[in-house]
Homo-oligomer: A and B are copies of this chain.
């Protein structure tokens, strides 16, 4: 089949201007021109346009698409398989967003509450990583699937009052950690109070508590820079301090 600009545009759901622009930037040249200069597109161009639109759908810039498709190592099947993977990711992201909308509706109806962080879940890819930190592979490996799922479920169904209480507790915890850190003594009264508060804080998320899991979590605060960064905001180096205090609190040495 052969197509004029408008015909191909209509077929692909784009405008003729777009096709002319793609011609102009050398992304998609017509197969030939008729005697009066009209652009005529053939089968190969239809396929190339399809490929282009797949990339565009994934947010790749036209300049980038051009480079990719003009590369001698370009493999159409390979590219399509990548598209599929990306589209599946995108679908997952959409599902997150949909869950987010539903949760927000529930929040507005006063049924549950949401953290500010949760409010943007699904908007950014990075979020998935951050979420993984809490509910993902690492956490799952450490605490088992049930604990993680239960934790998520718990947070999801918290009431407004629960949340307010949690917020107060979080503030108190952070304050106590800060003050304890200033004393410099992990065995001191303040440090041990911080450990107790941290346990209470944890119980908002965990259904079952064990000293071992608690200790492992606090060790992770030290090992994982993403957590360390958070605690550094309270007081630089306080993640390690909390771990030391926790060793005394739980009685677990290593």
A104 neighbours in B (Cβ, 8 Å): 50, 80
State in angstroms the CA–CA spacing of A75 and B90 once bound together.
28
A164 sits at the interface (CB 8 A) = no
Contact check, B91 vs A98: say whether CB atoms are below 8 A apart: yes
Contact check, B109 vs A77: say whether CB atoms are below 8 A apart: yes
Contact check, B87 vs A97: say whether CB atoms are below 8 A apart: yes
Contact check, A123 vs B13: say whether CB atoms are below 8 A apart: yes
A12 neighbours in B (Cβ, 8 Å): 120, 123-124
State in angstroms the CA–CA spacing of A67 and B166 once bound together.
37
A81 sits at the interface (CB 8 A) = yes
Main secondary structure of the interface of A (DSSP, over half): helix
Contact check, B123 vs A53: say whether CB atoms are below 8 A apart: yes
As for how many copies of this chain the complex holds, the number is 2
Contact check, B120 vs A105: say whether CB atoms are below 8 A apart: no
A108 neighbours in B (Cβ, 8 Å): 76-77, 80
State in angstroms the CA–CA spacing of A34 and B153 once bound together.
38
A31 sits at the interface (CB 8 A) = no
Considering the complex, give the chain B residue whose CB is closest to the CB of A124: B13
A253 sits at the interface (CB 8 A) = no
Most buried by B among A11, A105, A116: A116
CB-CB contacts below 8 Å: A76-113 with B: 76-77, 80-81, 83-84, 87-88, 90-91, 94-95, 97-98, 101-102, 104-105, 108-109
CB distance from A115 to the nearest CB of B (A): 9
Say which residue of B50, B98, B109 sits within 8 Å of A119 (CB atoms).
Answer: B50
Contact check, A98 vs B105: say whether CB atoms are below 8 A apart: no
Residue contacts A-B, CB under 8 angstroms, 14 given: A13-B124, A13-B127, A14-B124, A43-B116, A50-B120, A53-B123, A77-B105, A80-B101, A80-B104, A83-B101, A84-B101, A91-B94, A91-B95, A91-B98
Additional 9 contacts, C-beta under 8 A, given A77-B109, A80-B105, A81-B105: A13-B123, A13-B124, A14-B124, A50-B120, A76-B108, A87-B98, A88-B98, A91-B91, A94-B94
